[in-house]
Amino acid sequence: MNGKVRLGDFLQARRSRLRPEDVGVPTYGERRRVPGLRREELALLAGVSASYYTRLEQGQSLNASPEVLDAIAGALRLDESERLHLHTLARSPEHRSRGRRPAPERVSEATGQLLDALADVPAIVIGRRSDVLAWNRPGHALFAGHLDPSAVDRPSERPNMARLVFLDAHTHDLYTDWPSKARAVVGRLRLVAGQYPDDAALHALIGELSAKSTDFASMWADHRVKDCTVAVYGMRHPLVGELTVTQQTLSHGPGPSTLVATTEAGSPSHTALALLTQATPARTPAAPAPDPTPAPVSTG
């Protein structure tokens, strides 16, 4: 799907969610065949011509100025993440990095040190496609205790949090409000897909989830975007029961991010998380991979 289609689909989806009464547009009691605002009504609110907005939504133009995009974002009542996403989608093709294969994602030494420092706090390192690149002991126990903890050391077997949320029964049951978690996952993938339009592996993941999960397909079609850095979730863990955690995403620039789960001090959830950490056996570190570079041959 090219940039013009992505931009048009996003604008149309967001326009259809706005009711005339939400933005003070009179309807005079008329019956409407489609939900949401009409193109000309949205254009009027944004202060642009109806013909120009129609061309933009139909994918016939990708040269909107930042000022026009901000005006449309205001008319659509987009939040900051959605506004930035609109600008990303509207970026002209020559400003995109095309034909470049995304570099493999790795856990930096500093991030590894952070995981070690968070010895009693659940933490996992997640790549842009939601692949789990690393986790500490309580992170594995909280989010995926039913999986092999060493799977993150093997790139071809790494768990993917989006797959787990939509296709794994254990993870589905882990969240008391699963739809809220699912929408956050889809919203984040929407943002990343806009930032990396040529990431074939990312789009293969989206296609797989759309084919295997009707919930994902429905949420993806809604075009919601969300950069969820802090969220509170109720969880129902099979070992320690119900607990409430605050999940915070710590970003390290364009690279992988670290998801940390905390609980309120002195709360039953804090006690449950401490029990989970104590009940989880320490993981034996994986042996380092052998260096494929042959040793130099001595000549004397």
Instruction: Name the residue with tokens 């989970």.
Output: 276
231 neighbors 246 (Cβ within 8 angstroms): yes
Across the chain, mean pLDDT equals 85
* 36-43 LR contacts (CB < 8 Å, sep 24+): 39/15, 42/15, 42/18, 42/72, 42/75, 42/76
Helix residue ranges per DSSP H, the chain: 3-16, 39-46, 50-57, 66-75, 80-90, 109-117, 137-144, 161-167, 169-174, 178-195, 200-212, 214-221, 268-279
- For residue 93, the model assigns a pLDDT of 55
Tokens of 144: 């995926």
Q: How far is Cα 124 from Cα 138, in angstroms, rounded to an integer?
A: 9
For residue 285, the model assigns a pLDDT of: 44
- Tell me the pLDDT tens digit for each residue of 191-206: 999 888 888 999 999 9
- pTM value surpassing 0.85: no
**Of 7-11, 213-217, 243-247, where does mean pLDDT reach its minimum?**
7-11
Ramachandran area for residue 241 (φ above 0: left; ψ -120 to 50: alpha; else beta): left
- Please tell us whether the domain made up of 3-95 is placed in CATH 1.20.140.10: no
Fold of 109-279: Beta-Lactamase (3.30.450)
- CB within 8 Å of 49: residues ≥ 6 apart: 43
In this predicted model, what pLDDT tens digit does every residue of 221-260 receive, in sequence order?
A: 988 888 778 999 999 999 999 999 999 998 866 679 999 9
d(CA 165, CA 213): 10
What letter would DSSP give residue 297?
A: P
**How much is the average pLDDT of 128-154?**
94
What is the per-residue pLDDT for 102?
63
Domain spans of the chain, in order of start: 3-95, 109-279
